[in-house]
Amino acid sequence: MGALVADDRVKAVRSFNRFFTRQIGVLRENLLHSQYTLTEMRVLYELAHHGDQPSSVLCRGLGLDRGYLSRIVTKFESQGLVSKVPSLSDKRAKVLHLTEQGRAVYEPLDRCSQTEVADMLSRLEETDQVALLDAMGTISSILDKQAGMKYAQPFVLREHRAGDLAWITRRHGEFYSRQQGWDDSFEALVARLCADFEANFDPARERCWIAEIGGKPVGSVAVAYSGEEGVAKLRFLLVEDEARGYGLGSRLVDECHAFARAVGYRKMRLWTVDQQREARDIYRSKGYVLVGAEPVHAFGQPMIDETWEMDL
């Protein structure tokens, strides 16, 4: 391949594109032998897996023209698959909602897609499956880099599950005891916040993510409802030392913002202290503004309580 001239390389990429689209069935007029196109299926996928979303968020996430998405939504509304409902966090805003009928249509198609891919992989030897997945990862990483992607991502993000909030509590206590010399009262505060989050968790407008490297937790963040209409709180931001340098803290904050916008929040709010310099730098770079500061004695030390806010 190294000896190919520019035109030959272009031809090789186009040839691969034609081959791969045949393999995954994109060229069929309707995907998965259904009445829906690939783009229509992507819209259903986003609503099924990421919940209610404003049209503007779907446009950005899928790279769609607003008029094109509007036509898809109109079709889905006429079929009873999608409806426009008030946002839970801001009743003035409307979000797209996958109806029960929409979920009933989407889920069999999703299972069909899983089956088709599993069937394709089952025809390959184990070594070929591994090689295929490695090659896909290589293609993704190279094209992401060339496209100017901001983050190198040896990590994966997932939603929290049983035991994660206990990990968040323990690691916050250990981390800030070591890094800042804070006493046990900080871990006790995080424990109360985690307990409240879990007890009152509303998946329609709250979310917690755990970052992992090699299956090991290395970071966390959460969006929590503030109790004030249209306002969400950013909480539990933590990045372990071993995961620094990859843009993980920035990515976790971005994940919160994307979710908050998707469910209709208008503003993000967070609490921090002046000692948390790296976190404050991230917040400032994202557009947060310091709206309140108060000298306090907390966690065994003098510090300045800070409240930061950002309009979404």
The domain ranges of the chain are 6-146, 156-311
What pLDDT is attached to residue 67?
A: 83
CA distance 223 to 238: 13
Does the structure show a pLDDT above 50 at 26? no
Q: pLDDT band at residue 253, thresholds of 50, 70 and 90?
A: very high
Q: pLDDT band at residue 27, thresholds of 50, 70 and 90?
A: very low
What pLDDT is attached to residue 119?
A: 81
- By the 10 Å C-beta count (0-12 exposed, 13-18 middle, 19+ buried), 218 is classed as buried
Does the structure show a pLDDT above 70 at 13? yes
Does the structure show a pLDDT above 70 at 23? no
Average pLDDT, the chain: 84
Span of 147-156, 194-203, 231-240 with lowest mean pLDDT: 147-156
- State the fold for domain 6-146: Arc Repressor Mutant, subunit A (1.10.10)
Tokens of 46: 């986003």
CA distance 160 to 128: 33
Q: What is the dihedral of CA 85, 89, 90, 91, to 10 degrees?
A: 40
Q: pLDDT band at residue 92, thresholds of 50, 70 and 90?
A: low
**175/1: higher pLDDT:** 175
What pLDDT is attached to residue 65?
A: 76
Q: pLDDT band at residue 271, thresholds of 50, 70 and 90?
A: very high
**Angle between helices 277-286 and 248-262 in degrees, nearest 10:** 50
Task: Please write the tens of the pLDDT for every residue from 200-244.
Answer: 999 999 999 999 988 889 999 999 999 999 999 999 999 988 787
Tell the CATH superfamily of the 156-311 domain. Answer: Gcn5-related N-acetyltransferase (GNAT) (3.40.630.30)
Q: pLDDT band at residue 112, thresholds of 50, 70 and 90?
A: confident
Within 51-153, residue ranges assigned H as helices are: 55-62, 66-78, 100-122, 126-146
Q: How many CB atoms lie within 10 A of CB 227?
A: 7
Q: pLDDT band at residue 28, thresholds of 50, 70 and 90?
A: very low
CA distance 167 to 182: 18
Q: pLDDT band at residue 34, thresholds of 50, 70 and 90?
A: low
Does the structure show a pLDDT above 50 at 149? no
Q: Are 249 and 109 in contact (CB under 8 A)?
A: no
In the chain, the amino acid numbered 121 is L
CA distance 51 to 95: 10
CA distance 194 to 239: 17
Does the structure show a pLDDT above 90 at 188? yes
Does the structure show a pLDDT above 90 at 19? no
Task: Please write the tens of the pLDDT for every residue from 39-50.
Answer: 888 888 888 877
